Copies of this chain bind each other. A is one copy, B any other.
Amino acid sequence: MNKAKPVERELSSKKTALILEGAMQEFLEHGYAGARIDRIVEAAGVSKATVYRHFPDKEALFTALIQQMSCRKNIFEFQSQQSFEESPSVFLKRYASAMLENVAEDPQILTFLRIIIGESGRFPELARAFVVNLEKVSLDFLTQYLTKHPQLQIADPEVTARAFIGTLIHFVMIRDVLQSGDLVPIERDRLLDGLIDLIVR
Known: A131-B183, A163-B167, A167-B163. A178 touches B120 (CB 8 A): yes
Judge whether B118 and A178 touch: CB under 8 Å: no
A169 at the interface (CB under 8 A from B): yes
Contacts of A119 in B (CB 8 A): 31, 114, 118
Judge whether B163 and A163 touch: CB under 8 Å: yes
Chain A contact surface mostly: helix
Judge whether A131 and B174 touch: CB under 8 Å: yes
Contacts of A131 in B (CB 8 A): 174, 178, 180, 183-184
- Kindly name the residue among A127, A166, A199 whose own CB sees the greatest number of chain B CB atoms within 10 A: A166
Q: Tally chain A residues at the interface, Cβ within 8 Å.
A: 56
Contacts of A114 in B (CB 8 A): 117-121
Judge whether B195 and A163 touch: CB under 8 Å: yes
Judge whether B177 and A120 touch: CB under 8 Å: yes
A179 vs B171: C-alpha distance when bound (angstroms): 21
Contacts of A62 in B (CB 8 A): none
Interface residues of A (CB under 8 A from B): 29-34, 110-111, 113-121, 124, 127-128, 130-132, 135-136, 139, 155-156, 158-160, 162-163, 165-171, 173-174, 177-180, 183-184, 186, 190-191, 194-195, 197-199
